[in-house]
Amino acid sequence: MTNRTTESLFELIVDGYAQVLALDIDRLRLEGEIARLAEAGDPEMAGELRKLSALLRRVTRASEELRDRLDTFRARVESSRVDG
């Protein structure tokens, strides 16, 4: 792998981790909103809480999956850099 190609791949990886961080920020925001609504104790918010909880699960899953894929990809790029 050429140095430029490796640099481009690492730039792609960094961009991917930036997306993971954005997802983590969204997750924290959702957790805060869920806690706020739950503490309010308004029974009419049950539907909204269910929607937010489902969204939180999807965001968490996406963040975890993207982080895992990036970790694997980064290891492959680093390995090929050492081997090459």
Is the per-residue pLDDT at 1 higher than 60? no
Is the per-residue pLDDT at 84 higher than 70? no
**CA–CA gap between residue 2 and residue 11 (Å, rounded):** 14
Element containing residue 56 per DSSP (H, E): helix 46-83
**How many CB atoms sit inside 10 A of residue 14's CB?**
11
Is the per-residue pLDDT at 9 higher than 70? yes
**Domain spans in the chain, listed from the N-terminal domain onward:** 3-83
Spatial CB neighbours of 27, under 8 Å, sequence gap ≥ 6: 56, 59, 60, 63
Q: What is the pLDDT of residues 17-76, one digit of tens each?
A: 999 999 999 999 999 999 999 999 889 999 999 999 999 999 999 999 999 999 999 999
Nearest CA to 6 out of 82, 83, 84, 81 is that of 81
- pTM beyond 0.95: the answer is no
